Structure formats: C-alpha cells, structure tokens
Structure 1
Amino acid sequence: MQGSRILLVIGGGIAAYKSLTLIRELRREGCRVVPVLTRAAEEFVTPLSVAALSAEPVHRDLFDLTREAEMGHIQLSRDADIVVVSPATADLMAKMAGGHADDLASTLLMATDKRVLIAPAMNVRMWLHPATQRNLATLRGDGVLIVGPDEGDMACGEFGPGRAAEPEDIVAAIRDALAGAGAAGIPAAAPSPNERLRLGPEIKVGPLNGRHVIVTSGPTQEAIDPVRYISNRSSGAQGTAIAAALRDLGARVSFVTGPASVSPPDGVDVIPVETADEMRDAVEAALPADAAVMAAAVADWKIANAAGKKMKKDGSGRMPVLEFAENPDILAWVSKLRKRRPKLVVGFAAETDNVVEHATSKRQRKGCDWIVANDVSPGTGTFGGSENTVTLISADGADAWPRMGKDEVAQKLASRIAEALK
C-alpha cells in the first residue's frame, strides 16, 4: 500500500460522508489519494473538506479548460494504481454498466486501464431492483471488483442490504486488489482464487431478481437434557436444493436451517437454528418477504421439563417422566399473518399414508397457498436420499410429479414460484 496512488471517485449518496474516513485511513497507510467528486457528491461532502483531508486538489469538471488541454481525464485514469468508487450509487453503477461518459467520473472510468473497485451503497429497494442487479452482473463480468454492500439500518429508516461497507473493509479490499494486480493492472474477468476481496454474494440474473424468499430447511432438535434431544430423519437436502434453485433464478434467499446433514448452498443468507422456537424467531426476523417456502421438518413437540444437566440412571429401574409441550406452528403462523404475510406461502407435508388426502387437509387447516406433499414411508428412500416423489397441492387441485432427483424437484418448484410472483 505504501506509495500507491488511489483515484477515489466519490458518488452522490449519504454514504459519501464515509469517504472522508476512507481518505484518512488510506493516507495513514501511506497512499496518495486523488479525489474526484460528482456533482451530486457535493451535496453531501464539500470539496474543501475532501481537499483538506487528501492534501490534493479536488477534480470536479470534465470541461476544465486548463486540465483538458492536456487530456486531464486520460491522465487521471492512467496515473492511478487503482480506481475506487465509494460510494458507488445506483446511478454510477448504471453509467458504468452502460458505458456512459457524460461527466468527469464516468469518463475517467471508461478511459482507465487499471483495476476498478466499487463499494455500492443505496436504499435496499434500489439495491434489490432488477435493473441494479443486472448492472451488478454486468460489472462483475467486466472484471470490476466489489466490496459490500453490508446489511443494516439505512439513513432512510429501512433495513436490509445496501448499506455502505465500512472504510476499514474498503481499505482491506484495496490492499488485496493491489497485491493481486498484474503488470498492466487490467482487471481480469473474475478475481483469482488467491484474492481475498470481500465480494458481495454472486447475483444471478433471472425472473426472481429483486425478490426476497425465505426458505426453512432441515430438522429441528428439542433438548431432553444437555446431551440428548428429540429430532427426526430429515437431511435438509430438499430444502437446500430449493434455496439453491431460487438463488439461481435471481432471488435473495434467507435460508433458515436446522442441524442438517448437508451443507448450505453458497450465495444465500444462512441463518442456523436448532429448535422450533429459534426457527420461528429467525423467520420473523427475516420478514418481509415475497415468498416463504417452509421445507423444514419442524418437531411438533418439545420437552417442557428438559433437564439442566445430564439425566442418569439411579438404579431404581424407574424411567424419567418427560412432559411434552406443543411447538409453535410456524407454517400456520406465517400463513395467517395480516400485515407481513408473503404473497406466496408454500408448506411441506411429509406423510407415510394417504399422502394427498392428509396434505390437502393440512393446506386448508394451515392456510398456506401450496403444499408440497411427499411420501416418506419406509422403503421410499426420501429421507436422506437423492430422489423424491411429490404432489403439488393448491386451490386448483393436486398435481402429481413423477419421481425425480431432489435438484429437479427444486428447479421445477422454483420455476412455479417465479411464475406465481410475476
């Protein structure tokens, strides 16, 4: 980092105030920071404060007669070791993705032959908008490096992804980008495996762009004592496959998973839980959502008198008495929400007999839109296996699907969800 020249483009958003701390941290690392302000950025930070902290003149105008006589925008873009855009607003990202060059910032970004690192920051709905996600995918394909955004409280009062990465995280990303730069400094199509940049989750472009889906998966475990619990045979494989399929169609997925025997998919927000109570709390915290797929095998009961220490045999031959209490019915609770009910709620019914009849009754009783009924009777190999036989039950009736791999079931269900959310 020592002696590196950073061309810092400051976009016009409330997160521009973090650029002042970023400048200070970069100079502390021994970097020279050359600032460029967009017109909108000047509404949030003053050229004077930026100049004072960077000890450099602030570049603002494309048509500066003195500098442009020497093709200043070309020189600015080529003299830097890396170009950093922080904050990268939705407008700046759109200009970069579309190849626009109508002001100094966008022109030098088009003219540079050096690595470009952006730190997106915007309202959660702007971040999740399909246009922003398409632009993000384009920029990734062009080799632009991305740090953040984080998830948290917004200046506008909303909560979610879109909050600017912290200055220290941006500094770390710059350090890693400089360490991985080639001789020419031209961005590769994708970061090498050796680069440790804090990239945001990969965004797929598809019919669920801008949609948020909650998926529950796996079993729950209800403690008897600190070393024993009640659970079931669910592996979590089907719920995991569904989360991956929804992700591949562009959805932002909150994946609430019990102690499954399969690993969660990449590119989703993983929320690990153990008990039914924890799963309900996690689902509530993840709302609002466009759809909820409740694929978890939630224990119906918990132990009301769970022991605080390991229960031991006392030699009397008497068995311990376990008192059961009902667990929260998460599917029914979500289905009957008034204000934050997802547009589409999908339940699962694992049955061993009269599969369609029991699942149809469950859909009506719980109040969900669809039920995915599957036969888990002995010999089917559904629990822990790679295949499933399901029937999708809705208000329109029962649609029996042929036996297929769990990945295929997930892809078919995800496509149905995308169609329903149009």
Structure 2
Amino acid sequence: MNQNNKIDDLTTGPLFINYLKQLGLTENDGINLRNQLYYEYNNNYINLAELEDRLIQLITKTLKNNGLNYPYNDYFDDNEKYLIYLYNQKHMTMHCHICKEVILYNDTYCHNCGEKTGYKSSNVIGYNNSNSNENYTHPTNTSHENKTTPGDKNRLYAIITYLIALDNKPSDSYRPEESLFKNYNITREELEKIMLNSNLISNQEENNFYSLTNTGLELIASNPQIFFYNKFLKQYPPNLFEELYQSHKNELSLPEIGLIFIKNYERKYVNEFKWKSYRNTLLTEYIIEDLTKNESRIETILKIFICDINPWKDNELTNVYQVVVPFICENIKKIVKDCNLSKDDLYSYFIKAVEDIKLPKLVIKEEEIFERLLNIVHDESIDLIQSEVIYEINQIIGNKKYNIKTKKDYEEVINLLNK
C-alpha cells in the first residue's frame, strides 16, 4: 500500500473524526496528527509498519497536552472506558444561560433544563421555535406518558440516542452505528422507519443517509433526561432510570436524580457481593459530582481509592488486581490541589469515606491506606505502592483467591480474615 493512502486511511473519514470527538479532541487535532505522521515518515523516522503504533502514541500525547486521559487501557472494563471518555469531555464545558448548569461545549441542549444552547450544529435543517406539527405522530404511539410500556420507553431512548448522534454527525454521509442500539432491542432499520413516519428525520435524496428535522430537535429538547442518561448512565437499564425521573422530575434536578439512581445500584451490588461493580458505581457517582462541583466528590473518590487498594472484587477476594489506578490517582491529586486541602483536611474526608464505605472489611489497615494515599499525593512511585500492597495481601490471604457467591461463602471468608 502507498504510504500516502495508508496515512490517509488511518487519519481521515467520518469514523476517525468521530473517534477523535469521543476522546475529546477536534478535527484540527486530526489534521495535526496526520501532518506529523507524514513528516516523520517522509524523514525516515518511522516505517510503514510503524504507522498505526505511532498514531496511537501521538493521540496519547495530544490528549495529555490537553489535560485529558486515554480511555483504552486494557485494565479498564467497558463501563470505566465510557466514564473516562465522559471525564475527558467535561474539560470542554460552558454554562447554560438559563439554569447555569455545566454543559459540554458542543451540547445542542442543556441536559438539565432542555434549553437550546448557543451551539449551532451544522446538520440542523432550518431550526425554528414552533411547537406545532400537524403531521407529527409520537414515536411511542401513546397518548399518556404514564401509560408507556417498557418497550415504549426503550424505543424512545433509542430514538433520541439516534437523533443526538445524527445532530452531531461528522459528515453528510454519516449514519449512526448499529451497536448504539444493541441495549434497546430494536434495529437501526426499524428505528429509521419509525422516525421517517414520525417526521423526526428526513431523507430528501432517497438514499440511506438522513438529516434531523425540526420535530426531531424538539423531541431531544423535550427529553433532557435521555440526554443525561446517554452521558452518565448508559451502562444501566433505561426503563428504571425513566421511572425514577418521572417520579422526581418536578422537585429534583437531573444530577440529583442521577445520584439517587446510582446509589440504588450501589446497594444492589453490595447485596450481591459484587464489590468491583460497587466500586464502578462510585466512579459514576464521582463523575456526576465532579461535573456539578458537589463537595461530596472528595469523599467519593477516596472511597474509590479505598476500594482499589483492598482485594474485594466481584464475588471474590483475590491477590491478583491493580492496586492503584492512575486515572483515580491523578484526580485525587487534582482535587487536593484545587481545594487546597491540608493533611488534616484530607484525613477528615478520608475518615468519612472509611465510615461510609460498603466493603465487608478493610483488609489493608486504615492507617496504612491513608499512608498510601499520602504517597500518591506526594507523587511517589505507583509501581512501588502496587508491589508493596500485593506483598502485604499475600501475607494476609496467601497466594490464592476465594470465591464468594453465597452468604455462607461470605461468612467463611470473614472468619478467615478475623483470625
């Protein structure tokens, strides 16, 4: 393959542009990446076989220069990759001019109040403020909101997911990927048929590429909870979030509703002995709290650190795990700096986190965890902390893991640790 074609294949096209956008980068960043690859190849710094690896290195460097994180570390599961992607996006924020909520710079609508923002999508067809449309049929085919079935809710969430993707499409030929709708039990083709019949999208050129209509824009604006769900809670069932939203939407903000929702999952996972999943719900909680600058975020991220350093995972106690997650460490250091926390301040938040955390037992002693926390704040070696903690865990539980799927399993492990 000609090197020019190879470089262009790697760094152009709607998929690459969309990928950069998901990471929090821009199309201009993509142009700079492509130019750098051309420069290094033409000057014999890299060969053809090294292009892909070098591109990943350049993307990682660009993210770091912009204060962002690369979300595709092998250690992270899909939920954590998605959450880190959201964290990257939050660095590009502004405030809604109506409710003052923090929103992303390219949000067409505020996820809290539904107000159209100053951002203008180039893909919008003649947006106007009219709420009337004689030909509009609601895509869930229901007259009353409280009579919608789980299938109706799934369909509405899928439709708005499609519309949001379409409103931010990187090119005229873009079509949202089928994988976006795998959790909604509906295919892309079925969605498109419903949306065409409901005048949510148009297909003026009789091809497979669609554009958003005024009606589609209005549907996004009238459902800010789905916008919020897509940004923060996409890994959880939409039906349950929708029920909670409808129950509290008149008295609570969307971030407040989101935190209630995620705390319900915290309890669920603890009852199922799934402490890694519990830890991941804390990470979701932290992302929401950090975006809204909720003071509770300090205690929450310390809980995550405590979970990470202890060997409780989903249905097991193990000596094989990553003790220190760089993403969490960097955020702890940032919070300590931004909030100007002294050692005593940090200890006060740490004790609150210890008292409230839902782990069965601190396998690593409280004072040792705090010492490791101070090591992190003072930029000591993560690898050294990792090796020292694993050595200590092996001294306590031996070079083995224990499965915990029943109450009996749980009690046996606790008795072992108490000896």
Do these two structures clear the TM 0.5 threshold for a shared fold by scoring above it?
no
The structure with more helix, counted as a fraction of residues? 2
Output the TM-score relative to the length of structure 1. 0.26
The structure with more strand, counted as a fraction of residues? 1
Rg: which structure is higher?
A: 1
